[in-house]
Amino acid sequence: MSFAVNESSTKRHQKHKNAGFHKKRNPKRGGPGIMMTCETGRERKCQQEGLHILNYYALERMTNGTEEKCSSTNDLSLEDEIKKLKGAQNSRMESFCVYDIGVRGMITFLCTMPNCNVVIPYTREDNAQVMDTPDVCINSNKEPAAKKPKLENEKFNDDKASPDPSWDPIDTVGLIIKDLREGTTDAPSSRFVTRMIPIQVSCTANKEEIEYVARELFSKYNDGTAATFAIRPKRRLCTSFKSDELITMIANLAPKKWKVKLVDPKYTFIIELCKNFCGLSLIENMKDYGNFNLVEAREKGNNSLEKES
């Protein structure tokens, strides 16, 4: 009897687990985001805290000024105010989505705001988005769709790159670190998040996409003058590339007038590889960000407050 009860409860648990798996869906790659690190086992708390911080810096600070102007010029009724608050709440929920990269101690948020792409996302022509949707049934009886012939204009999807993106992950992380160093108490604290790594473009960890994104980022920052740069690859549970291979591949795509400088370069090209996920950024004066370490920035802020007191 007890065996039958345990077996039925196990089946219900497995059914509930599978149902949750099929509902899970990663956002589309290509847009910007932020990769957050935390202690192993603190991922859920890091996710809640990180989303709260992103909503504060990316949404509230950006919209406070415009909301005050609107409220001063227009007298809204109670129903309109309720609708406005619900709309703001929904925008917070939909502005950032968690991307499950499958690495412990890391949480990745991708931006889903309109006009936030720095680079036109790269897509393969033969239904390559299957890896981005874990809710696809592997044992489906449906036959795979026939492959389309490869055309040049099918490399890109309909998403466009904005000359003035609605959200910049580098600016957001820079503002967070600045507030921590200054000891600002109004902003939400980061108890579980240890580092925030800005990602300008997200893509799949394959050679074609990485080369395409690197070429586009270099072209955006290249003004025809000489500059120095360094390449910082980081691999987590990824055996597709070696660090030396990545460095050589990216260096060959750099502008001709740019020279490699490992110590204090003007630009730093960071590559974050996590399984089949890749995040890339080209950051100017990276030393000013303190390796994106929030713990060290908070300690500096606490020390400065103690000296002032």
How would you write the pLDDT of the chain (309 residues) with one tens digit per residue?
A: 454 555 555 555 555 455 444 445 788 889 999 999 999 999 999 999 999 999 999 877 655 543 443 444 345 566 655 544 444 444 445 789 999 999 999 999 999 888 889 888 886 653 344 344 443 333 334 444 444 333 333 333 345 666 677 899 999 999 999 999 988 878 888 889 999 999 999 999 999 999 999 999 999 999 999 999 999 999 999 888 999 999 999 999 999 999 999 999 999 999 999 999 999 999 999 999 999 999 999 888 887 766 776
- Taking CA atoms, 64 is separated from 61, 81, 170, 236, in Å, by 6, 15, 21, 38
User: Among candidates 114, 112, 68, 78, which has minimal Cα distance to 93?
Assistant: 112
Spatial separation of the C-alpha atoms in residues 44 and 261, rounded to whole Å: 39
Is the separation of the CB atoms in 46 and 192 below 8 Å? Answer: yes
Specify the pLDDT at position 13: 54
- Tell if the pTM clears 0.85, that is, is over it: no
Cβ neighbours of 131 (radius 10 Å): 12
* Rounded Cα gap, residues 145 and 136, in angstroms: 14
Contact 100, 24 (CB under 8 A): yes
**Residue that is written with structure tokens 């022509």 in the block:** 125
Which two tokens mark 152? 């040049």
Alpha helix stretches (DSSP H) within the chain: 2-23, 43-55, 61-73, 78-95, 169-182, 207-221, 243-251, 294-308
What secondary structure does DSSP assign to 70-137, as a single string? HHHH----HHHHHHHHHHHHHHHHHHEEEE----TTEEEEEE--TT--SSPPB--TTTGGGGG-TTS-
- Interacting residues of 224 by C-beta distance below 8 A, sequence separation 6+: 257
Structure confidence at residue 171 (pLDDT) = 93
pLDDT of residue 253: 96
pLDDT at 184: 84
d(C-alpha 292, C-alpha 202), whole Å: 18
